[in-house]
């Protein structure tokens, strides 16, 4: 590769368009050369914002193109397996947005495919690992001054989600999956069980949608993680985390104030004494910038950093167990294969336990 990485973006929805803008405007040593989406009109509209960027409808054609050296996948999760495998087949680094795939078996196939290739090319888009507050929290907990980490308390709220075709399971698979990775990142160990509880739903959710949800993770070392995910909070985008250790606690994601409260102001914006971000692109803007820059820099070095394909598989396995728990209300064991000997046949159905 040259000293500039030629990047293609697959998927031109909100996240894909944001990544395209990021590569062009805010990422050093990178050049956007192509975008692809089944909605070719939309792809051409995005490409038209930049000089020298072509657009097409075929993701696999973009991946195979000689002038594309690395690929950002911001496409729907159900096409990720095929597209990631295509990147591996041509030896191109890929930054794949979460979820890695829609189920544990397909994620495990990607773990094995990369292992068979003999080099790491896959980075999964868990951008919170690049957020300055989360990295500082990780440093504090790993430093040992607070002793062993015992508990995490996570809050994840969106103002609203599109009502059309939105289902309860999507809260687990597409939103809670970030808390899964945060728990694994901060504890440095796997989630071994999950229970998803269903409070009375908000009147702002579509009929039949369970929102908010409360999930409890059990970590391999015995620690517990509580998670509130509320995607129709009507206020704004809030992500907070409190870590409780043997000799102290740390909170990230909120401003320092005597009384912390949220409400809907006259102008329709969430207020806490300052504005609450409207969506994730504002709250994690720096994290996304750092994530993509780290991916570009490592690709130019012939390396890979950040969340791995195993991290993507592990998060998908927890999400799969979480969806089973959402349906039953019971505690469900997370079924992970041996990390050192993954095989496609080893993935099994998550098993229920009594609460």
Distances from the Cα of 182 to the Cαs of 37, 59, 66, 158, 223, in angstroms?
30, 30, 36, 18, 14
Ramachandran angles phi, psi of 278, nearest 5°: -75, -35
Regarding whether 146 and 252 lie in a shared domain, the answer is yes
Regarding whether 208 and 82 lie in a shared domain, the answer is no
Residue 70 domain-assigned?
yes
Of the candidates 319, 233, 311, the residue with the CA atom closest to the CA atom of residue 272: 233
pLDDT in tens, 68-84: 999 999 999 999 999 99
Regarding whether 300 and 165 lie in a shared domain, the answer is no
Residue 243 domain-assigned?
yes
Regarding whether 294 and 189 lie in a shared domain, the answer is no
Task: Give the CATH number for residue 223.
Answer: 3.30.360.10
CA pair distance 34, 31, nearest whole angstrom: 9
Q: What is the mean pLDDT of residues 310-339?
A: 97
**16: pLDDT strictly greater than 60:** yes
Residue 340 domain-assigned?
no
- Beta-carbon neighbour count of residue 104 at 10 Å? 25
pLDDT in tens, 113-148: 999 999 999 999 999 999 999 999 999 999 999 999
254 confidence band (pLDDT: 50, 70, 90): confident
**66: pLDDT strictly greater than 50:** yes
pLDDT in tens, 220-231: 999 999 999 999
> Half-sphere exposure (CA, 13 Å, Cβ side) for 41?
0
Regarding whether 158 and 97 lie in a shared domain, the answer is no
Residue 187 domain-assigned?
yes
Q: Are strands 270-271 and 263-264 parallel, antiparallel or unpaired?
A: antiparallel
Regarding whether 299 and 159 lie in a shared domain, the answer is no
The greatest distance separating any two alpha carbons of the chain, rounded to the nearest whole angstrom, comes to 59
Regarding whether 158 and 215 lie in a shared domain, the answer is yes
Regarding whether 265 and 141 lie in a shared domain, the answer is yes
Residue 186 domain-assigned?
yes
Percent of the chain with pLDDT over 70: 90
**What per-residue confidence (pLDDT) applies to 81?**
98
**237: pLDDT strictly greater than 60:** yes
Residue 319 domain-assigned?
no
Regarding whether 12 and 111 lie in a shared domain, the answer is yes
Residue 325 domain-assigned?
no
- The predicted model scores a pTM of 0.90
Residue 342 domain-assigned?
no
Task: Give the CATH number for residue 63.
Answer: 3.40.50.720
Regarding whether 145 and 123 lie in a shared domain, the answer is no
Q: SS in 3 state form for the chain?
A: CCCCEEEEEECCCHHHHHHHHHHHHHCCCEEEEEEECCCHHHHHHHHCCCCCCEEECCHHHHHHCCCCCEEEECCCHHHHHHHHHHHHHCCCCEEECCCCCCCHHHHHHHHHHHHHHCCCCEEECCHHHHCHHHHHHHHHHHHCCCCCEEEEEEEEECCCCCCCCCCHHHHHHHHHHHHHHHHHHHHCCCEEEEEEECCCCCCCCCCCCCCCEEEEEEECCCCEEEEEEECCCCCCCEEEEEEEECCEEEEECCCCCCCCCCEECCCCCEECCCECCCCHHHHCHHHHHHHHHHHHHHHHCCCCCCCCHHHHHHHHHHHHHHHHHHHHCCEEECCCCCCCCCCHHHCCCCEEECC
Q: How many domains does the chain have?
A: 2
Q: Are strands 191-197 and 70-73 parallel, antiparallel or unpaired?
A: unpaired
Regarding whether 239 and 107 lie in a shared domain, the answer is no
Q: Which domain holds residue 123?
A: 5-127+286-308
- Beta-carbon neighbour count of residue 28 at 10 Å? 9
CA pair distance 46, 43, nearest whole angstrom: 5
pLDDT in tens, 100-110: 999 999 999 99
What are the structure tokens assigned to 160, written together? 């609203």
Query: What mean pLDDT, rounded, does the chain reach?
Result: 91
pLDDT higher for 98 or 254?
Answer: 98
**What per-residue confidence (pLDDT) applies to 341?**
78
Regarding whether 72 and 110 lie in a shared domain, the answer is yes
**What per-residue confidence (pLDDT) applies to 271?**
59
CA pair distance 47, 9, nearest whole angstrom: 10
């Amino acid at each position: 590769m040259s000293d500039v990485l030629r990047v293609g973006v697959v998927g031109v929805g909100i996240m894909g368009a944001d990544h395209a803008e990021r590569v062009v405007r805010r990422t050093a040593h990178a050049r956007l050369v192509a975008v692809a989406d089944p909605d070719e009109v939309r792809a051409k509209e995005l490409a038209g914002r930049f000089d020298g960027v072509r657009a097409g409808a075929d993701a696999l054609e973009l991946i195979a193109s000689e002038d594309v050296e690395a690929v950002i996948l911001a496409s729907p999760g159900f096409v990720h397996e095929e597209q990631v495998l295509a990147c591996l087949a041509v030896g191109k680094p890929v930054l794949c947005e979460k979820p890695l795939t829609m189920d544990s078996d397909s994620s495990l196939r990607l773990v094995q495919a990369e292992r068979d290739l003999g080099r790491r090319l896959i980075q999964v888009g868990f951008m919170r690992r690049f957020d300055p507050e989360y990295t500082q929290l990780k440093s504090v907990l790993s430093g040992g001054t607070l002793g062993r980490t015992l508990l995490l308390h996570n809050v994840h709220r969106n103002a609203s989600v599109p009502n059309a075709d939105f289902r309860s399971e999507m809260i687990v698979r597409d939103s809670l999956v970030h808390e899964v990775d945060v728990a694994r990142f901060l504890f440095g160990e796997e989630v071994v069980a999950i229970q998803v509880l269903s409070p009375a739903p908000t009147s702002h959710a579509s009929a039949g949608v369970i929102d908010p949800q409360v999930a409890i993770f059990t970590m391999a070392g015995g620690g517990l993680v509580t998670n509130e995910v509320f995607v129709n909070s009507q206020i704004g985008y809030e992500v907070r985390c409190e870590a409780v250790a043997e000799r102290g606690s740390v909170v990230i994601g909120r401003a320092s104030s005597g009384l912390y409260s949220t409400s809907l102001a006259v102008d329709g914006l969430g207020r806490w004494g300052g504005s609450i971000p409207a969506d994730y692109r504002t709250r994690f803007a720096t994290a996304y910038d750092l994530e993509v820059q780290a991916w570009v820099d490592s690709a130019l070095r012939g390396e890979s950093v950040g969340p791995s394909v195993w991290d993507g598989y592990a998060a998908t396995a927890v999400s799969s167990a979480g969806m089973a728990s959402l349906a039953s209300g019971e505690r469900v064991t997370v079924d992970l294969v041996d990390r050192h000997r993954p095989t496609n046949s080893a993935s099994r159905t998550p098993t229920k336990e009594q609460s």
